[in-house]
Amino acid sequence: MSVGNNVGSGAAVKIKSPKKVSQRLLTFAALLVIYIFFCFFGRNFFGYETALNILDASVYIGFAAIGVTFVIISGGIDLSLGTVQMCSAMVGGVLFRKLGMPFGLALVFILITGTMFGLFNGFLIAKLKLPAFIATLGTMMIAIGLSSVISNVQTYNFPARTEVAGGWFKDVFSKLQLDNGWTIPTGAILLLVVLLLANVVLTKTKIGRYTYAIGSNEEAARLSGVNTVLWKTVPYAISGFCAGLAGISYACTYTTVLPGSGSGMELDAIAATYIGGASTTGGSGSVFGTIIGVFIMSCLRVGLPSMDLQPHYQKLMTGIVVIVAVLIDMSQQKKH
Amino acid sequence: MKMKKILSTLALALALSVTLTACGTGTTVTTAAAAAATTKAAGAAETTAAAAAAETTAAAAATIAAKDIYIPVISKGLQHQFWQVVKKGADAAAAKYGITITFEGPASESEIAAQVTMLDSAIAKKPSAICLAALSTDSVMDQLNKCLASKIPVIGFDSGVPGAPEGSIYANASTDNTAAGALAATSMFPALEAQIKAATVAAPVRIAVLSQDATSESVKGRTKGFIDKMIELVKGAGIADIAVVGHDMYKNDVAEKSAAVVIDVAVSATTAAADLATSASALLNKSPIAIYGSNESAANGILDATNEGADLGAIVAVGFDAGIRQKTAVAAGYFLGSITQDPYNIGYQAVELAYKAVIGEAVANVDTGAKFYTAANMNDASIKDLVYD
């Protein structure tokens, strides 16, 4: 194990950090530029209300993106997180509405479902050596099918504010509206907590060190005595757990969960991770960069309609941003 | 520095594409009374309109200049031609009253999150009123309460916003979907009457129903309206053993094997065309005597499964809404006919109601109507404009 520690905490990781900091500053600057642009050209864009809207559109993608950052740093990919997110939410909805489970417990089962999917992915990839792309593609489809099956292709609604059972749901995971008219974005605060936690795990613990090590050079890590089967599974389990969190957050913000939905949502989370400076070949990336990526996308999503543009332009713009962000990353790597 | 260069190119590209798209869509999306007004001027005008709307009571609101009124119209999607005709009607009403509207909708009718974000953005723009066809009322409760609190009138259109908070929806411009579904059953029944009368438990007949979802009120109403009316008609023909099977939401207590008439309801796994076609094939494989598709997607699903209707044979098919494919099938006689709503009227009435609500006039629900069209009458003046391509 001590050898493994050397690999993880060794120079390979530390050398990269100064570059990544400047990269993160650049992405942050891009976010500011976009925000200020909309403040000038959007209709009533600048203000607390719009800021809350941006948070609303960010939180659920944020959770999913934090999770997939672990996977991407480990050199893998998780295509299943969008549909796993919605399938987990559906499990909670069915348990609560159809089987009468207490709402709080149903939420726990959402997290368990997400984590189980993640462990399943990890098992396929780390133990059975299936390529991550194929394994998670399969899980993605399983999740779509499962959510349709358990819901009998019915839509499930999560509790509204006025409901007795679970009426606290929106207060805790989305927004708390105070009597004096103030709105506290509790969902965003929770995201911040998870973000800080994820950062600690990634930079200060064995999980993080081994994730970077496997992403940089899996063979070297294995030869140094790292149990790669175990430590390659962990990022997928984290991603699955975060997909469960994202499912809770989505269900809270948008209330209605459609059967068989979620495909495409993983792309938002993955794109955010790359905008945030993660490398496709693994070994680099940070959760802070990822979150900035998420906000860039949400800013576009909320900002473009304020200029009377359809939000579909957000996809178009995000595509451009992803390409440019990775180009900048590559040009920097050449310099080093 | 090379990096700096790339960054400035990025900024430029970003700014350029935003400006370009803004120019490109300005004319199509926004129907401004003062078409010459620049974006900036329009923006300023909206702010004053919103400020005025917020402060004034209904009586004083009548003094708002029409050009200061901004109404975002949020539809359920833009993918079907149906919505393009709704937009035409909305644009016509906006032009008549000289007000500014924007017409928007998510890329597909399953993108609830996209529509919620759209509505959030619309409210943040402090509009005079909002026209809304909600994909899911439960998803927009907070937003509707916010409109209610800040006295922004909301007008429901198409399927409207059923179950909205008391007082937030000023009026609806919509088709009575249950009545429209019943009209489909009534129109289809004469062609089936002989076979239904001859049906027994030993030799049952099936009537297939295809719906794209079990979520939206409009599709639910049309499906339920059709089933209930069909049961009534079949009972009227002297057959009492009717089973409704398939989807949980619609099925009854009668077992399939003890029924003379089986109404088989399928709800597609998703709203994607391929899934609707699969569901249509599954229904048709059980040899029904008739099939009903409760919206344009469902009708197209039937067409996908039957070589554009040519393989339907003796199966009596009735669709809903229009679109060039469905129209062709009706004209060729593959479909007995289809039910059309009046999408133009839906759009027109929605904006007109919103305008009236803003200037403080009393508004009430408007039934925008439905008609049955066949190869024989689809070119009549009264129908022609309703069946869009």
Asked if residue B14 belongs to a domain, the reply is no
pLDDT digits (tens, 9 = 90+) for B96-143: 999 999 999 888 888 888 899 889 989 988 999 999 999 888 889 989
Tell me the shortest Cα–Cα distance from A327 to chain B, in angstroms: 8
Same domain, B167 and B240: no
Token readout for B246 is 């398939």
Question: Among B36, B76, B81, B92, which residue's Cα sits nearest to residue B347?
Answer: B92
On the question of pLDDT at A47 being above 80, the answer is: yes
CATH (domain of B207): 3.40.50.2300
Chain A residues closer than 8 Å to B136 by CB: 155, 157, 255-256
How far is the C-alpha of B22 from the C-alpha of B32, rounded, in Å?
14
On the question of pLDDT at A288 being above 90, the answer is: yes
Same domain, B69 and B95: yes
Listed range (A15-19, A129-133, A159-163, B65-69) with the worst mean pLDDT? A15-19
| A75 vs B39 pLDDT, higher one | A75
Question: Among A288, A297, A303, A299, which residue's Cα sits nearest to residue A322?
Answer: A297
- pLDDT reported for residue B386: 82
* Residue with the two structure tokens 């995971």: A173
Same domain, B190 and B305: yes
Same domain, B150 and B249: no
pLDDT digits (tens, 9 = 90+) for A77-131: 999 999 999 999 999 999 999 999 999 999 999 999 999 999 999 999 999 999 9
How far is the C-alpha of B210 from the C-alpha of B271, rounded, in Å?
12
| A193 vs A40 pLDDT, higher one | A193
All residues at 6 or more sequence positions from B168 whose CB lies less than 8 Å from its CB, including other chains: B144, B145, B147, B148, B154, B161
Same domain, B336 and B347: no
- pLDDT reported for residue B2: 47
Tally the domains of chain B: 2
- Report, as an integer, the average pLDDT of A244-268: 92
Asked if residue B191 belongs to a domain, the reply is yes
- Answer yes or no: do A155 and B50 touch at CB < 8 A: no
pLDDT band at A21 (very low <50, low <70, confident <90, very high): low
How far is the C-alpha of A239 from the C-alpha of A115, rounded, in Å?
8
CA atoms within 13 A on the CB side of B251: 13
pLDDT band at A20 (very low <50, low <70, confident <90, very high): low
- pLDDT reported for residue A181: 77
| B300 vs A333 pLDDT, higher one | B300
**DSSP letter for each residue of A61-75:** HHHHHHHHHHHHHTT
All residues at 6 or more sequence positions from A252 whose CB lies less than 8 Å from its CB, including other chains: A158, A169, A170, A173, A174, A187
Same domain, B326 and B195: yes
Question: Among B107, B220, B229, which residue's Cα sits nearest to residue B162?
Answer: B220
Nearest CB partner across the interface for B15, out of A37, A53, A253: A37
Same domain, B318 and B336: yes
- Answer yes or no: do A321 and B30 touch at CB < 8 A: no
- pLDDT reported for residue B97: 94
Same domain, B230 and B319: yes
Segment holding B372, helix H or strand E: strand B370-373
Handedness of CA A167, A169, A172, A173 (dihedral sign): negative
Residue burial B80-107, b: 16+ Cβ < 10 Å; e: rest: bbbbbbbbbbbbebbeebebbbbbbbbe
Chain B residues closer than 8 Å to A324 by CB: 6, 9-10, 13
- pLDDT reported for residue A117: 98
Asked if residue B304 belongs to a domain, the reply is yes
- pLDDT reported for residue A57: 87
- Report, as an integer, the average pLDDT of A18-24: 64
Same domain, B43 and B57: yes
pLDDT digits (tens, 9 = 90+) for B245-256: 998 889 898 888
Contact yes or no for B320/B299 (Cβ under 8 A): yes
- Answer yes or no: do A310 and B267 touch at CB < 8 A: no
Please state, rounded to an integer, the average pLDDT across all residues of chain A: 88
On the question of pLDDT at B358 being above 90, the answer is: yes
- Report, as an integer, the average pLDDT of B269-286: 88
- Report, as an integer, the average pLDDT of B206-219: 88
pLDDT band at A1 (very low <50, low <70, confident <90, very high): very low
Tell me the shortest Cα–Cα distance from A104 to chain B, in angstroms: 20
Domain containing residue B204: 177-340
Same domain, B281 and B322: yes
On the question of pLDDT at B59 being above 90, the answer is: no
CATH (domain of A36): 1.10.3470
- pLDDT reported for residue A311: 63
Using CA coordinates, name the residue in chain B closest to A320.
B14
Tally the domains of chain A: 1
- pLDDT reported for residue B274: 86
The fraction of chain B above a pLDDT of 70, given in percent, is 84
On the question of pLDDT at A249 being above 80, the answer is: yes
- Answer yes or no: do A301 and B122 touch at CB < 8 A: no
On the question of pLDDT at B383 being above 90, the answer is: no
Same domain, B266 and B298: yes
All residues at 6 or more sequence positions from A109 whose CB lies less than 8 Å from its CB, including other chains: A91, A92, A95, A101
| A271 vs A331 pLDDT, higher one | A271
How far is the C-alpha of B68 from the C-alpha of B75, rounded, in Å?
22
Q: What is the DSSP letter of A127?
A: I
- Report, as an integer, the average pLDDT of A299-312: 79
Contact yes or no for B129/B94 (Cβ under 8 A): no
Using CA coordinates, name the residue in chain B closest to A304.
B18
The fraction of chain B above a pLDDT of 90, given in percent, is 56
pTM across the whole model: 0.74
Domain containing residue A300: 2-335
User: Residue A205 CB: number of other CB atoms within 10 A?
Assistant: 12
How far is the C-alpha of A270 from the C-alpha of A69, rounded, in Å?
8
Asked if residue B26 belongs to a domain, the reply is no
Chain B residues closer than 8 Å to A155 by CB: 136, 213-215
On the question of pLDDT at A17 being above 60, the answer is: no
Token readout for B118 is 């759209």
User: Residue B153 CB: number of other CB atoms within 10 A?
Assistant: 26
Same domain, B350 and B241: no
Please state, rounded to an integer, the average pLDDT across all residues of chain B: 83
- pLDDT reported for residue A335: 62
